[in-house]
Amino acid sequence: MPPPILQSTAPGTCYKFTVANAHEAAQFIRDRLGDSARVLSVRTVEPSGLRGLWASPKLEVIAALPSEAPAQVSPVGASLLAISEENAAPVASKLAPASTTTTIAHASTRMRATHPARLELSPLLRRSGFSESIISLLERSATWAELQAMPLHRALVETGRYMQAVVSARPAPVPLTRAAFIGLAGSGRTTALCKWLSTEVSRRARSGHVVTVEFDQPVSRGPLPVFCEALGVPVAHYPASTHPATPGGFVYFDLPGLSLRDPAANAALADFLDREQIEQRVLVLNAAYGPAALRAGYARGRELGATHVVFTHLDELAQWGGLWDYLIDGGLEPLFLATGPSLTGECEDEVFDALTRRTLPAASEPALADDSETAGEAA
pLDDT, residue 67, reads: 64
pLDDT, residue 89, reads: 40
Quote the CA–CA distance of 329 and 346 in Å, as a whole number. Answer: 25
For the entire predicted model, the pTM comes to: 0.63
Q: Is the peptide bond before 239 cis (omega within 30 degrees of 0)?
A: yes
Question: CB under 8 Å to 322, separation ≥6 — which residues?
Answer: 129, 130, 131, 291
Angle at which helices 189-198 and 224-231 cross, to 10°? 0
Question: CB under 8 Å to 3, separation ≥6 — which residues?
Answer: 28, 31, 32, 82, 83, 84, 85, 87, 88
What are the domain boundaries of the chain?
14-118, 178-361
3-state secondary structure 285-342: EECCCCHHHHHHHHHHHHHCCCCEEEEECHHHCCCCHHHHHHHHCCCCEEEEEECCCC
Is residue 93 a contact partner of residue 13, using CB atoms and an 8 Å limit? yes
DSSP 210-241: EEE--SSS----TTHHHHHHHHT--EEESSS-
Task: Determine the average pLDDT of the residues in 284-310.
Answer: 90
Quote the CA–CA distance of 76 and 104 in Å, as a whole number. Answer: 7
Residue range 354-372, pLDDT digits in tens: 888 888 765 444 443 344 4
**Mean per-residue pLDDT over the chain, rounded:** 75
**CA nearest 220: which of 186, 250, 252?**
186
* Half-sphere exposure at residue 164, Cβ-oriented, CA atoms within 13 angstroms: 18
pLDDT, residue 75, reads: 40
- Phi and psi angles of residue 315, each rounded to the nearest 5 degrees, phi first: -70, -15
Angle at which helices 152-168 and 351-359 cross, to 10°? 160
pLDDT, residue 31, reads: 81
Tell how far CA 324 is from the center of its chain: 10
Count of C-beta atoms within a 10 Å radius of residue 51: 10
- Hey, which of 185-189, 233-237, 259-263 has the most confident mean pLDDT? 233-237
Quote the CA–CA distance of 216 and 204 in Å, as a whole number. Answer: 36
Q: Residue type for 153, please? A: H
Quote the CA–CA distance of 235 and 211 in Å, as a whole number. Answer: 6
Task: Determine the average pLDDT of the residues in 42-46.
Answer: 75
pLDDT, residue 196, reads: 94
CATH class as words, domain 178-361: alpha beta
Residue range 146-198, pLDDT digits in tens: 888 888 888 888 888 888 888 777 777 788 999 999 998 888 899 999 999 99
**Of all helices (H) and strands (E), which one includes residue 43?**
strand 38-45
